[in-house]
Amino acid sequence: MKVGINTTPLHSGHRLRGIGYYTRNLLTYLKEKRNVEISEFERLSEVKDVELVHYPWFDFYFHTLPIAKSFPTVVTIHDVIPLIFPKQYPVGLRGKINFYLQKRALKNCKFIITDSLVSKADIIRHLKVDAGKIIPISLAADPGFKVLKDTELLLIKRKYNLPERFLMYTGDANWIKNLPFLIDCFSQLIKIPEFREIKLVLVGGVFLKNVENINHPELESLKQLSRKIKEYQLEDKVIRPGNIENSELVAFYNLATVYIQPSLYEGFGLPLLQSFACGTPVVSSDRGSLPEVGGKAAIYFNPIDLKQTLSILGDVLQDRSLQYKLSKLGFEQASKFSWEKCADQTAEVYQRVINVK
């Protein structure tokens, strides 16, 4: 089958985010399939001689999906978070017009791929799409996320001066990630004598941004994070290494005592799978798709209940046997997800489009 895939996310602001990660991996594994011939494009006018096209992302407030379709079309909608929390993601008149156009463009798509069952339900509820058109296909951690040798870990530990025990978070810093809550929780945790030496590592270039003089609603959570770190005098307890290489990120997961995901909502939850693959115990919010992704391999908390979160973190940090159990369950959970499976299931969607043409 001949498939055109729009690669705009690889050349835009999405390239270092989840959408770029998805697009890059999907392309890599689809190209390994003998029955799929990929034609990459950014403009539809570039596309010739294909049986269908796939847009691996969907923007709610920019008109990225054509209403008039030159080819049968598949689109991936990873989540509908801006529609679930409209107050936190305000939009102007142009955005509202584009949202109307995007909804019209969805109507004649053959199928919509999404990352989870939770996201499928959200799409049905907020975009009024027929359930039969929506196909959940899970993402996965790269094969590079694995347990590393001690010698490899020692190099990274020395390079970044990492402590013996630390909590880790990686990702963005927008409102949905709930990071001010994480700082509140961490500040209380280190007041407990047994955890006084614990540190918090926030991985990502966003944590080195100076945003205090920039007024933008999406940066408010990052501002709160910085203010709370200063307010609680945690400058020497919170480590912010900035952007790091992917191989270094694997080492950070390996070295972390616990990975924590405090999000108020997620359409998938890739860091959980990356943690699992590295043998890192995971403590996660119980919101959105996180329990769907984490299964029985994580311990879950209510992301607005500070007392409960603190108790759970303490239990995991001081119980080595529980850490070992979570690590073992994590390996089992991670093994259920793979990019080969994602590519296979995506190719099956393509075949369904071709069969009904």
> What digits encode the pLDDT tens for the residues 314-331?
999 999 999 999 999 999
- Residue 14's pLDDT is what? 77
Q: Which residue has the tokens 């791929």?
A: 113
Closest by Cα among 64, 121, 131, 140 to 265:
121
- CB of 4 within 8 A of CB of 39? yes
Indicate the CATH number for domain 150-334: 3.40.50.2000
Closest by Cα among 276, 235, 241 to 259:
276
Closest by Cα among 138, 119, 143, 140 to 129:
119
- Residue 357's pLDDT is what? 64
pLDDT at 138 over 70: yes
Query: Are the folds of 2-140+338-351 and 150-334 the same?
Result: yes
> Percent of the chain having pLDDT more than 70?
98
Q: How many other CB atoms are found less than 10 A from the CB of residue 258?
A: 21
pLDDT at 278 over 80: yes
Q: What is the homologous superfamily of the domain 2-140+338-351 according to CATH? A: Glycogen Phosphorylase B; (3.40.50.2000)
Ramachandran angles phi, psi of 226, nearest 5°: -65, -40
pLDDT at 212 over 90: no
Q: Region 80-108: what's the mean pLDDT? A: 93
For the chain, which residues make up each domain, given as ranges? 2-140+338-351, 150-334
User: How are strands ordered across the β-sheet holding 298-301?
Assistant: 238-242, 199-203, 166-170, 258-261, 282-285, 298-301
DSSP 67: S
Tell me the two tokens of residue 288.
């959105």
Pick the range with the lowest mean pLDDT from 53-57, 145-149, 217-221, 343-347: 217-221
> Percent of the chain having pLDDT more than 90?
89
Inter-axis angle of helices 339-355 and 18-30, to 10 degrees? 70
pLDDT at 27 over 80: yes
- CB of 107 within 8 A of CB of 133? no
pLDDT at 219 over 80: no
- Residue 220's pLDDT is what? 85
pLDDT at 241 over 70: yes
Mean pLDDT of the chain: 94
pLDDT at 214 over 90: no
- Residue 15's pLDDT is what? 74
- Residue 140's pLDDT is what? 97
pLDDT band at 88 (very low <50, low <70, confident <90, very high): confident
Q: Region 80-90: what's the mean pLDDT? A: 91
d(CA 223, CA 156): 29
- Residue 17's pLDDT is what? 80
